[in-house]
Amino acid sequence: MSSGPVATRILERVEQDNTPLGVIVVDEIDRLPVGMAHFQVAVDAFSWMPTGMDVSFESPGYRSTMRCLLHSIKKKPDVQKLYHTIHPWDVYGLPEQVVTDHGSEYDNKALADGCFLSGILSEQAPVGAAWLRPRVERFFRTTDMRLTHLLEGSTFMEIIEKGGYKPEKTACISLQGINEMLHTFIVDDFASNFHENKVTGFHGIPRMIWENNLKQGFLPPLPTSLQALEINLFQPYYRILHPEGIQFQSLIFQSPDLARLRGLFSKKGKKQFFKIKVNPGDLWHIYVLDPFEQTYIRFDCTRPDYSKGLSLWKHRIIRNNVLTEKSRVRVEDLIAARLHIQEVVENEFILTKRAKARSTSNRYRKDKPSEATKKDAPQKVKVLRTTTVYPVAEREDKPETVADYQAIKNTDDTTRVTRLGGDYDLPNPNRS
């Protein structure tokens, strides 16, 4: 077997990959089995030093890949305080090249675009070419042997016949516990232990090799702005700049620079697409690229009470729940659906003990609505699908107390939605 490309210094080549942990995780509150977590790690090819990691219940995708890469680049000064490790994790810096496998979470334009804008070369190893990433593969084998299979709740995934062994009944580790154990293993065990590999010719202690390279004068490069780095690694999309702002997934985003950007192309007589960057973990803001200044401008969602802290994954579930054939999605319905779905998930989380169902529920519970959202809509709602809404403040028969959303038919054949605590003045969806 070939040893693959050889690195001559730290951060010249970083290998990144993910794997199921092989451990059934329990909820931190009721200690019931939740599901299997996924673990993603980045390993420096020269020193074999792990540079970053990410653990979540999400299936492998660009969001977990982005978090792992960001964690790899950033400084980690609070590891000892948060996870009670003996040693610090003094590893940081922009890698020259990131090498991944050919999985769908890596085979997308978002990763290539983010790496390019950050000055990082991205390479995808061909299918079946694990020898191009021997360090990260060795790390996973070591983690599997020394850590996960020693835990109660291990699934022993490589064993086809499990017999009477049921990991769900012996699971006892929460996600917080998994995070602390992995940080301890990476910093105090793997990085501080002696490793030898005859295929690659590597032998040494990763931490000492990393530190010796620093003593020789190598200074890990850092981005000029961490915020700019994060924006670069957000998912890219292309949207038209309308007079009311940018529409993304039925949400409207606006900025004081809206008129200026539209004026740059108003005389050309054709629609201009703008590149935008979207944080998949928070739809409160998006970032629009100024094509002339080559800088990103923040656009804020017009409904922060709905979008603040809301992930793109969850928003798509809510949006699909209220989207009907050829009808416009109204933010009021999204808010109502969000609270309704949240209530269903909370009830199901208490009632069910099946690991597969609870894995999805746990991810959804961690993305709860903000306090502003709770105040802005009732706890139990009936989602109405109306297409035209106008104010009816002058109506004499307007209910004084409304427990749930109610549709009131007006004399002019329009519909008004009234809610507890006040009325919404919703836009006419047919308006151009």
> Which pLDDT band, with edges at 50, 70 and 90, does 3 fall under?
low
* Phi/psi of residue 159, nearest 5 degrees: -95, 120
Comparing C-alpha atoms, which of 61, 54, 49 is closest to residue 136?
Answer: 49
User: CB burial class (10 A; 0-12, 13-18, 19+) of residue 10?
Assistant: buried
DSSP state of 108: S
DSSP 364-421: HHTSPPPHHHHHHS-SS------S-B---TT-TT--S--SS-EEEE-TTS-EEEEETT
Half-sphere exposure in the Cβ direction for 296 (13 Å, CA):
22
Coil, helix or strand at residue 287 = strand
Comparing C-alpha atoms, which of 44, 55, 53, 52 is closest to residue 20?
Answer: 55
Domain residue spans of the chain: 14-229, 234-302, 312-423
Q: How far apart are CA 35 and CA 153, in angstroms?
A: 10
Residue 357 pLDDT > 80: no
Q: How far apart are CA 264 and CA 289, in angstroms?
A: 13
User: CB burial class (10 A; 0-12, 13-18, 19+) of residue 156?
Assistant: middle
Work out the number of other CB atoms within 10 angstroms of the CB of residue 181.
Answer: 17
Angle value at C-alpha 77, between 75 and 78, nearest 5 degrees:
130
pLDDT at 26: 75
51: amino acid identity, one letter: T
DSSP state of 154: B
> Which pLDDT band, with edges at 50, 70 and 90, does 140 fall under?
confident
Q: How far apart are CA 87 and CA 90, in angstroms?
A: 9
Question: Stretch 339-346: mean pLDDT, rounded?
Answer: 73
pLDDT at 404: 38
CB 285 within 8 A of CB 67: no
CATH fold of the domain at 14-229 = Nucleotidyltransferase; domain 5 (3.30.420)
Question: Stretch 284-290: mean pLDDT, rounded?
Answer: 95
**Sign of the C-alpha dihedral, residues 46, 103, 20, 3?**
negative
**Sign of the C-alpha dihedral, residues 108, 114, 115, 116?**
positive
CB 41 within 8 A of CB 53: yes
pLDDT tens readout for residues 13-38: 999 988 888 777 777 776 667 777 88
pLDDT tens readout for residues 65-122: 889 999 999 999 999 999 999 999 999 999 999 988 776 666 567 888 889 989 999 8
Q: How far is CA 211 from CA 89, 91, 197, 217, in A?
A: 11, 9, 20, 10
CB 236 within 8 A of CB 276: yes
Tell me the two tokens of residue 64.
């977990």
Q: How far apart are CA 252 and CA 328, in angstroms?
A: 13
More confident residue, 292 or 341: 292
> Residue 172 pairs with which residues in a beta bridge?
none
User: CB burial class (10 A; 0-12, 13-18, 19+) of residue 217?
Assistant: exposed
CATH number for 234-302 (one of 2.30.30, 2.40.50, 2.30.230, 1.10.3470): it is 2.40.50
Tell me the two tokens of residue 381.
């709602």
> Which pLDDT band, with edges at 50, 70 and 90, does 136 fall under?
confident
DSSP 163-204: TT--HHHH--EEHHHHHHHHHHIIIIIITTS-EEETTTTEEE
pLDDT tens readout for residues 188-221: 989 999 988 877 778 899 999 999 999 998 999 9
* Average of per-residue pLDDT values in the chain: 75
Residue 373 pLDDT > 60: no
Place of tokens 């996973």: 140
- Rg (alpha carbons) of the chain, rounded to whole number: 26
